[in-house]
Chains A and B, each alone.
Chain A
Amino acid sequence: MIAAVVATALRTPEAIQADPPAGRHARFLDRLGLHALDAGLEALAAAKLSAASDRIGLFVGTSGLRPRWDEMRAALSGPSAAGPWEAGLRKLHPFWMLQHLSNNMHALLSMEAGIRGEGATFGGAVSGAEALQAATRALHANAVDAALVVAYDEAVAAMVLARPGELTRELGHIEVSSGVDGNPQPSADEIENSGAATSVVQAVSWLRRTAAPGSAVLLSNATQGFVSVVRVEVF
């Protein structure tokens, strides 16, 4: 089975510095999640797959479910002698847990687009490639006719920058410095590492039947060590 990437939509580091589109999901998603959701809808529209369907899958890769510092302030903002609940956890937003679920963007995108086929969210460093691999497997199994693959991540969140403090010393290329409100200031490198990429993938045999345009062919994919390799050629 050969799978083809028929549409893509990207949100580059420059693009995600703009405000994401306003909408009803803003209560549940962070900025990058909103950008990723918007890019996913754009890719579906470009592939002319905007109608709800049981035969469209959704596969998402993101680094993981991460408590972010701005929400965590509430947890630390009171006298600690009263215990963590009284000290601040009781001030967490009721949607805090929902906002931080790792498949939150997945859930909202499937809802927004009416995607009801196979789906999974992967976490970790190569999760975007894993999502693409899972999509091709679903196509191969004829579980779906098309799959939307979304990968997004941010390296600019304070909690992410905090941990690489060790990397500062070991690798010397990530500068963690105090910024506004004491949060670490992202370096240019980290901003470049933030973004969202989406692709709609379909089986070539399906494309031939439907005459949908294809722009590239995914010939193979493999995972080597901790790096996933995806080979894409012009269709």
Chain B
Amino acid sequence: MRRAVITGAGAVSAFGVGLAALFDGLAEGRAAVGPIRSFDASTFPVRVAGEVPIAGIEAQWLARELNGISKGAEIAHAAAADGALRDRKVAFALLAAAEAWRDAGTPPGLDARLSFAAGLEQAFLEDLAPLWTGHSVDWSKDAKAPLPPTRYRSTVDLGPRLVAKLLSLRAPFFIHASACAGGGLAVAHAATLIERGEAEMVLCGGTDSMVNPLGIGGLSRIGAPSPRNEPDACRPFDRRRDGLAVGEGAAAFIVEEESLARSRGARIRARILGWGSTQDGYRATAPLPDGSAARRAMELALRRHGVAANRVGYVNAHGTGTPLNDPAESLAINGALKGATVPVSSIKGAVGHLMSASGAIELAACLLTFERGILPGTAHHRELDPDCPIDVIGETPRRAQVEVVLSNSFGFGGQNVTIALGHPEAAA
């Protein structure tokens, strides 16, 4: 039977560029949500975010970060010239993918596929504003100008397309647009392609940034972020929780067929033991209160390859810190694990909600458990909500050796996905 394993990983988060920065931040129990610096948010209702600590992304800097990839400098400069780097998630995708590729040993000569989640197409208000006449847009003002490919907006596939160019991936790629479940589904899709023999290697993950005027403005209007503009804006499973913290970043993985990985001597970071996908079919803006569909996603992830629930040693929760998600997810966890006391944490208090990339960055965090024997903590969780009767790891990470972990991602509109990861030496 063909099995999927992770042999490379890369991450960009509020802790900085690189998987090590994410690991170090989580292992030390730090939190990185703070005032927005990449644009002037002083007049916005939401003024804090888990922002990647890079104010402006410039071609020279990106080219240096992409070192070791032959097309790195070329892609970085071309993206800057086209205006693509105005959409921060484009650079995040390139950085995470390049790190994952290097981490996997820059596997040569393989026809890797790409399965990536990306968020909102970003509208560039600065392009549109000069065309505004006061009551309409006069497009003719721009009709003769040379229009770069990213005029007015970045397309949904812009980041993944540049990743494919960067790494010379010629196989077709898949863009996942399932909101906050997208990153998890992209990895699940990769595992499916491997298991079915449709691919030998897949570069997968997710990238997103809504830390821009339009993104923060839209989220402010919908009221999902915490109304407090404090670094502890997101307090998952805490009685005092009052909303999410916006985050940004990316994570990428090289997923490949296990025997191929072993034959080329690749380091296996984790095994993908299964995944499950369900839908609430309930409401667009609220999870199913009894958590039953989320529970089924967790159960399906275990059942796919017959992993017993009692092997699960840690759950990385979706844990948004919103009033409705956390109790429903607690019910789901208790149901799927049959009431067993299993440590649970959410990293959203530390890095914010990465939206389309959340499932990917949280899967990256799960690798910490295997590689350093550390279960990430839940930043700003201090008072357990009685409606969340689960074993929440508080602000201090725990030391533990675990065999199987589950990573939950529950998206807007009730799309749920759970990935089951196994220790590299775990039995299938």
Contact = CB atoms under 8 A, between A and B. Distances in A.
B43 A85 contact: yes
B139 A110 contact: no
Nearest to B146: A166
Contacts of A163: 147, 149, 151-153, 155
A178 B139 contact: yes
**Chain A at the B interface: SS class:** mixed
Interface string A98-134: 1011111011101101111111111111110010001
Interface stretch (B324-332, B345-353, B409-417): B409-417
Contacts of A62: 177
A64 B152 contact: no
Interface string A51-65: 010100010001111
Contact of A119 (B123, B156, B415): B415
B217 A89 contact: yes
Given A104-B413, A116-B280, A125-B157, A67 B120 contact: yes
B147 A110 contact: no
Contacts of A141: 192
A162 B151 contact: yes
Nearest to B170: A225
A176 B152 contact: no
B317 to A, nearest CB: 21
Interface stretch (A10-18, A181-189, A195-203, A211-219): A181-189
Contacts of B125: 72, 75-76, 84
A94 B153 contact: no
Contact of A64 (B121, B137, B179, B221): B121
A110 B153 contact: no
B147 A69 contact: no
A52 B280 CA distance: 11
Contacts of B220: 85, 89-90
A147 B177 CA distance: 18
A94 to B, nearest CB: 5
B178 A223 contact: no
Contact of A118 (B119, B136, B176, B277): B277
Contact of A120 (B148, B178, B214): B178
Given A64-B121, A106-B415, A123 B156 contact: yes
Interface string B173-190: 011111100100100010
Interface stretch (B127-135, B257-265, B307-315): B127-135
A63 B135 CA distance: 28
Given A89-B213, A97-B222, A64 B281 contact: no
A95 B277 contact: no
A176 B139 contact: yes
A83 interface: yes
Given A28-B284, A123-B156, A182-B136, A102 B179 contact: yes
Contact of B177 (A28, A102, A140, A143): A102
Contacts of B281: 52, 110-111, 113-116
A110 B279 contact: yes
Contacts of A228: 172
B218 A111 contact: no
Interface in B212-263: 213-214, 217-223
A65 B222 contact: no
A107 B172 contact: no
B341 interface: no
Given A94-B223, A162-B139, A176-B143, A120 B185 contact: yes
Nearest to A83: B43
A66 interface: yes
A67 B44 contact: no
B138 to A, nearest CB: 5
A183 B132 CA distance: 11
B147 A165 contact: yes
A199 B44 CA distance: 44
A116 B221 contact: no
B156 to A, nearest CB: 3
A117 B177 contact: no
B178 A103 contact: yes
A86 interface: yes
A137 B175 CA distance: 17
B357 interface: no
B380 interface: no
A162 B152 contact: yes
A98 B219 CA distance: 9
A87 to B, nearest CB: 9
B37 to A, nearest CB: 15
A103 B413 CA distance: 7
Nearest to B145: A165
Contacts of A206: none
Given A54-B278, A162-B151, A127 B283 contact: no
A124 B175 contact: yes
Interface in A29-79: 52, 54, 58, 62-67, 69, 72, 75-77
A168 to B, nearest CB: 8
Contacts of A69: 137
A111 B282 contact: yes
Interface of B: 40, 42-45, 118-123, 125, 128-129, 132-133, 135-140, 142-143, 146-149, 151-153, 155-157, 172, 174-179, 182, 185, 189, 192, 196, 213-214, 217-223, 277-285, 293, 296, 300, 411-415
Q: Return the 3 tightest CB-CB contacts between A and B, nearest first.
A: A107-B413, A64-B156, A89-B217
14 contacts: A54-B296, A58-B279, A65-B120, A72-B128, A83-B43, A89-B217, A102-B178, A103-B177, A107-B413, A110-B413, A119-B279, A123-B156, A162-B151, A184-B139
